[in-house]
Amino acid sequence: MIVVTGAAGFIGSCMLKKLYNERFTDLVAVDDFSKTQKLANYQSIPNLKLVNRDEFNDWLQQNHRLTQFIFHLGARTDTGEFNPEIFNALNLNYSKEVFNNCVKFGLPLVYASSAATYGMGEYGFIDNHDIVEDLKPLNPYGVSKNEFDKWVLKQERKPYFWVGIKFFNVFGPNEYHKGRMASVIFHAVNQIKETGKLKLFRSHNQDFKDGEQKRDFIYVKDAVDVLYWWMHHRKDSGIYNLGTGKARTFNDLAKAVFSALNIPEMIEYIDTPADIRDKYQYFTEADMQKLRKIGYNQSFMSLEDAVNDYVKQHLDSGLRWY
C-alpha cells in the first residue's frame, strides 16, 4: 500500500491520481473527509481506502507491514491564519508522529515543507541544510514548516529514506476548494471572465516596475512527477526545493491567462495593501541545482504551456484531474 496524507486536498489528490495513472491501485488516502467540497478531488479513484486523519497513526500501527511508502502532504496551509497552536498541532506535532512511526517501522517518507520557510529570502532560496536554523518565515504557517525541518535535521534516528520538499508556487487542477488560498492563476481566470480585466499589485519597490514582481510558478502535474520520481529514487535523503528554477513576472502570468482565454489583455495596477506592503515578496526563485545534481533530468512546463493546459483542460470545463 502507498499512503498519501492530505489526500483530499490539492497536491495530495493530484498525487493519488498520478499513482493511479501509473497503475498503483492499492492506495490509502488520509485526510479529514468531512469537507464535502473536496469530494470531487478523489471520488473517481476506484477502491481507494479512506483513513481519517485522527486515526492514521493508530491505523499505521496495525498496517505498517503492508505499507510500502508514505507521502505526507497533509497540512494546514492557510497563511492568513495566525493562531500558532493550530499549526503546532497539525503541521508540527502531527508530522513528528508520522516521522517517528516511519523510523519505528522502517518506512520511506516524503513530506511537504514549503518555500514559505525562506521568508523574505535574506539567505537566498538555496536548499542548504546549513541555513535552516537561520531562516525567518513571515507567518505562522511558514514558521511551522521550518520548525519541522529544523526538528527533522536534529534527529539522530531518521527513516532509512526521507525527503522534505519545499514547494514553491504550485498551481493547477484540484485547487477549486481552496478559496482565497487558491493560486493567482485560478483567481485571475475567474476575475477576467467576470470583468474582462485583471488587477495586479502596483510595485512599491523602485527596483521593480508594476507587475514585474517575480515568483517561481510550478504546475502541479510537474510537481507530482518529481514526487513520483522520489518514490523510485530512494536515496540522497534531505530537504529539497521544488520549483521550476525560473522566476516569472506577474505580467507574464497575466498575458498567459489572457492568451489561454482568448481575451484581449487589460491589466489594472492597484496599490499593495498597506498592512502587507512591508512583507511583500518581490522575488522568489527555487535554486534547483541540488535536485538536478542527483539525477532528476525531466524538464518543467513553461508558464505559458502550463497555464494553457490548466485553463483549457480544467478551468474552462471544471474538470478535476481525471
Angle at 77 between CA 208 and CA 224, to 5 degrees: 85
**CA–CA separation, 108 vs 71, rounded Å?**
9
Q: One of 42, 141, 219, 310 is an active-site residue; which one? A: 141
- Contact predicate 100/156, CB 8 Å: no
**CA–CA separation, 81 vs 65, rounded Å?**
37
User: Does 279 participate in catalysis according to the annotation?
Assistant: no
Angle at 114 between CA 311 and CA 144, to 5 degrees: 135
**CA–CA separation, 145 vs 306, rounded Å?**
27
User: Does 178 participate in catalysis according to the annotation?
Assistant: yes
Q: One of 96, 150, 178, 199 is an active-site residue; which one? A: 178
Distances (CA, A) of 291 to 44, 235, 296: 32, 12, 6
Give the residue numbers marked as catalytic: 141, 178
